Chain A
Amino acid sequence: MTAASRVPAAWRPAAFVAALAGYGVFAYWAAHSTLYIQGLVLVAAVFGMLAVSLDLVAGMTGLYSLGHAGLFALGAYATTILYNDHHWNLFLILPTCLLGVGAVGLVLGAISLRVSGLYFAITTFVFTLVVTVFASDSTFTGGYGGLIGPIFPEFPSSLSWAGQSVIWACLIALLITTLVVLAIRSSPLYPVLLAIRDAEPFAAAAGASTAAVRIGVFGLSAAIAGGAGWMFAFQGIVSPSQFSWQVSVNILVMVILGGINTTIGPILGAVFITVFPAQVNINPFWQEVLFGALFVGVIVIFPSGFVGLVRLIGRQIGRSLGLAGPAAPRVEEEQPGIVDAAAVSAVARAEERSAASGSNGSGPETPAIDCRDISFRYGSGPLVLNGVDFTVRRATIHGLIGPNGSGKSTLVDLISGRLRPVGGSIEIEGVAVDREGVTKRVGHGVARTFQSAVLVNELSARQNVQVGLYSRVPRLAARSLAWPALPSARRDGRRLRQTVDDSLAFVGAREWGRVRLADAPHGIAQLTQLAAACAWGPRTLILDEPLAGLAPSEVEHAASILAKLKSTGVSIVLIEHQPRFVFALCDEVTVLAAGEVVASGPAAAVREDEHVREVYLGQ
């Protein structure tokens, strides 16, 4: 993903130490430079923090916040006021800012995320407006003139060789911010965040409470903005014009200019936008015009920002030197019989584990899924499902067929908890789940896939499978903040990689593990989806048209995988449109037509059923 991934693994710690040392040398230089440069460095570092924090929400979760200037203002004003009027210790104010502004972010996120996308941008935009307007019109904030900020304490004399303390402080703050965000990026949470951004149903089906994660990430980002505000207070004066809505937009410009979702890019963007106006001394109007032209130019000519540009150039240089990337593997003309025995046993082991942990003592006779008298309609529309009974026995493959629009996908959405029935009840392994949402039902060992592969195209097959394992990594969200540094994370990471590889090997797509899904054929996407769904060892699998769009040879391969899963004791619901495979593969088949069950029973009997032929014949 980042440039680091192209550095050979053995060099990575060395590269990291070298980068850190370079950063230290820069900090030493800056701390001894002129006041003018120090001012620039402070502002650039603060905006670097803001840009990184915005990139966290905008890049990883797709939420374009325009509230960061407002959150930033809260931090700066709180620091100044608590110090000037209430004489708090500056280092007590810092955690107060982080937690306080973070909490404001949580509330703001909870309110504005009810409506997503553009309205999120607008709500947060208005938040910034409100903050600046209140700051301008209130007396305790000093009105338009603002307040004079605190002065950062000098180093004790023993450390005075290090130079200006505030420079060290702001550069360390920027470093910590960057490291935290990079930690999240390297943790298994990162693919989950992108899944929440690009393929929300997939993330939810993996057990992630998508709304909570989003709000949490926004809260973290807000806390960083609050910290940036704390830092900014030491720059001299705190006044409303420094936090206007234009500043919010400027931060977003820094992110996009530098390269969204690259973490390092936004820092470059921040440095550029802070330093450029100060260094290029021409007519100020010309300068602004140039600036505007730059915004338009970069966005129009190179939409992925500085980092994207550098990558492109790097790739071109690489190509001219004849260092072509590894060729994409061919689509495997799979030998369906041969699947790594170790892989099968790994999946089977996962099976036993989850069966032991959560089966509530229900015997093997209890059906995996038992739906009784299910009815459903969208809004006030006509009934899509009408009195449907649907029972899936343990360790069987149960086919669900019927023409388009007969209600198959709706039925599995009801079972997995994405929709709520208007009538009837659903039991999973003998437990009534009518009151439970998607996330809780995952706890009953239910995994599912989606029609037309809902996955994150920007990520590799392995990372996509990792999303499926979300519920198997305890306290992932909290631990991701310091992921690379945690010994427990290293252990979990190893285990995770192993499971992911086993799972991909199990579906026969291991060769494709490192290929971005955007570059992989449709069949591989389907197999990846299947691997993600069965990686954590669910006891019940719901597969919505897993064979759609596969070439005939791939269909055979997928069918053999399903048979293997069944042999390890998994119950499978298979929605399919190609009855030929359904009857060959399934133990039992239910046929839906126009929202009602037309036939249900052993595959062979259903196949001969008069009604079924009618469904496909019409009449």
Chain B
Amino acid sequence: MQVLLSGLAIGAIYGLVAMGFAIAFYVTRVINFAEGQLLMVGVMVAAWFARTGLDPWIAIVLGILAAAAVGAVTYLVAVRPVLAFDRFSFAWLVSTLGVALILENGAALVWGPTSRSFPALLTGTSVHVGSATLTLQEVVTIGVAIAAAIGFELYRRRTLFGKLGMAIAHDPEMATALGANTVLVATAAFALAGAFAGLAGVLIGPITYSNPYLGDTYGIAGFVALMIGGTSRPAAAMAGGLLLGILGEAANKLIDTQASDWFPFVVVVVMLLVLPEGLLSLAAPFRRAVRRARAPAGATG
């Protein structure tokens, strides 16, 4: 139980970062390798504002906004020109990685390469769930992550802008022919992806403190979570993150304390061999079957 809940807590962070990856990928088919660094930007900016004496809650909001803004700029500076040159090239791999380098070392330049404090708002209080104990921070993290995933799914399906995002993901050219400004939507997607990473950052900040190299660790974890969940839909990435968190904790507990370093990768390898489209691709045939079963009934009605 403790393993499960601790795993969910850390997995929620991975999941948020993975959703960031997925949201940007969903609309633009580009993986923003600076996604982990956007988490770092969220942490660093929030910590910095808090140090200047600003109310910590406002600092946290500013941190998230900063991550979103940097996300949008990343698209406009490092991705769009590349895609404009050749829609199918993989050169964005290099340019987003360049952005990651700039952000990481730029942060180290501005704020120094060492860890600094992060405003602690919720630690200290413990919550008991059955035999397990969680900090309030962890409970909030799980709650916020799941709310964010559900909120995003609802937004995607219920609002016109969300529907437009789906349309662009499916057929960008046709969406253009319907009047969609794809550049605008893609920029918004990158900003939203940045906000998700920033959110993850301010949630993990109290535990890790603010450090310019946070991006590497969480970026790669988020990416692995994305692989587990598959790229077909952003919410699946959250599921992948939660699963990765639980697997890591379980491996630490059951195998040895270093096992979380490698165990998830073994899972990913097995998965890529068996289900190259990600775990949730399992659901697709099921969904199709349901649709087929429902179709004739609907046709007569």
Contacts and interface: CB of A to CB of B under 8 A. Distances in A.
Contacts of A64: 90, 93
B239 interface: no
B101 A292 contact: yes
Contact of A283 (B101, B109, B269): B109
Interface in B233-276: 258, 261-262, 265-266, 268-269, 272-273, 276
Interface in B68-89: 77-78, 81-82, 85-86, 89
Contacts of B269: 126-127, 130
A289 B113 contact: no
Contacts of A127: 269
Interface string B216-231: 0000100010010000
Contacts of A294: 98
Interface in B102-120: 102-106, 108-109, 113
B105 A136 contact: no
A295 B262 contact: no
Interface stretch (A252-260, A458-466, A546-554): A252-260
B217 to A, nearest CB: 12
Given A285-B109, A300-B82, A122 B272 contact: yes
Contact of B105 (A111, A245, A257, A285): A285
B195 to A, nearest CB: 22
A134 interface: yes
Given A288-B104, A303-B86, A256 B91 contact: yes
Given A283-B109, A288-B105, A289-B102, A299 B94 contact: yes
B230 to A, nearest CB: 10
B97 interface: yes
A428 to B, nearest CB: 35
Contact of B95 (A111, A291, A300): A300
A36 interface: no
Contact of A257 (B94, B113, B262): B94
B100 interface: yes
A289 B106 contact: yes
B99 interface: yes
A616 interface: no
Nearest to A380: B292
A285 B94 contact: no
A607 B78 CA distance: 59
B98 A137 contact: no
Q: Which of A293, A297, A300, A303 has the most CB of B within 10 A?
A: A300
Q: Which of B77, B78, B98, B220 has the most CB of A within 10 A?
A: B98
Contact of B113 (A114, A137, A285): A285
A295 B105 contact: no
B101 A295 contact: yes
A257 B103 CA distance: 20
B265 A303 contact: no
A119 B268 CA distance: 13
Contact of B268 (A126, A137, A287): A126
Interface string A291-320: 111111101110100000000000000000
Contacts of B272: 112, 119, 122-123, 126
A301 B266 CA distance: 39
Contacts of A297: 98
A134 to B, nearest CB: 6
Contacts of A303: 82, 85-86, 89, 91
B137 to A, nearest CB: 28
B102 A252 contact: no
A289 B101 CA distance: 6
Nearest to B89: A303
Interface string A218-245: 0000000000000000000000000001
A288 B101 contact: yes
Interface string A445-469: 0000000000000000000000000
Contacts of B95: 295-296, 299-300
Nearest to A133: B262
Contacts of B100: 292
A292 B261 contact: no
B215 to A, nearest CB: 12
A123 B276 contact: yes
Contact of A295 (B97, B104, B258): B97
Contact of B93 (A249, A283, A288): A249
A134 B262 CA distance: 7
Given A252-B93, A285-B109, A295-B94, A133 B265 contact: yes
Contact of B94 (A130, A256, A283): A256
Given A245-B220, A283-B109, A300-B77, A111 B97 contact: no
Contacts of B258: 137
Main SS of chain A's interface residues? helix
Interface string A118-133: 0101110011011001
A294 B220 CA distance: 23
Nearest to B273: A111
A133 B220 CA distance: 13
A11 interface: no
Interface in A268-296: 283-289, 291-296
B227 A292 contact: no
Given A122-B227, A252-B93, A296-B78, A130 B98 contact: no
Contact of B99 (A111, A134, A296): A296
B261 A136 contact: yes
B273 A133 contact: no
A295 B74 CA distance: 13
A115 interface: yes
Nearest to B272: A123
Contacts of B220: 129, 245
B98 A293 contact: yes
Contacts of A137: 258, 261-262
Contacts of A245: 220
Nearest to B105: A288
Interface in A167-191: none
Interface string A84-117: 0000000000000000000000000001101100
A379 to B, nearest CB: 11
Contacts of B85: 303
A195 to B, nearest CB: 17
Contacts of A134: 262
A289 to B, nearest CB: 5
Contact of B265 (A112, A119, A126, A257): A126
A289 B105 contact: yes
Tell which of A129, A133, A296 has the most Cβ of chain B within 10 Å.
A296
B261 A133 contact: yes
Given A256-B94, A296-B77, A303-B89, A130 B266 contact: yes
A300 B75 CA distance: 12
B263 to A, nearest CB: 9
A85 to B, nearest CB: 22
Contact of A249 (B97, B99, B104, B113): B97
A447 B88 CA distance: 30
Contacts of A293: 98, 102
B244 to A, nearest CB: 13
Contacts of B97: 249, 253, 292, 295
Given A256-B93, A292-B103, A303-B91, 7 more contacts: A123-B276, A249-B97, A253-B94, A283-B109, A285-B113, A296-B99, A303-B89
29 contacts: A64-B90, A111-B273, A112-B272, A114-B276, A115-B277, A119-B272, A123-B272, A126-B268, A127-B269, A129-B220, A137-B262, A249-B33, A249-B94, A253-B94, A253-B97, A256-B94, A284-B105, A285-B105, A292-B97, A292-B100, A295-B95, A295-B101, A296-B95, A299-B91, A299-B92, A300-B81, A300-B95, A303-B85, A303-B86
Q: Closest 10 A-B residue pairs measured CB to CB?
A: A295-B98, A292-B101, A292-B102, A288-B105, A133-B262, A296-B98, A292-B98, A299-B95, A115-B276, A300-B81
Interface of B: 33, 77-78, 81-82, 85-86, 89-95, 97-106, 108-109, 113, 220, 224, 227, 258, 261-262, 265-266, 268-269, 272-273, 276-277
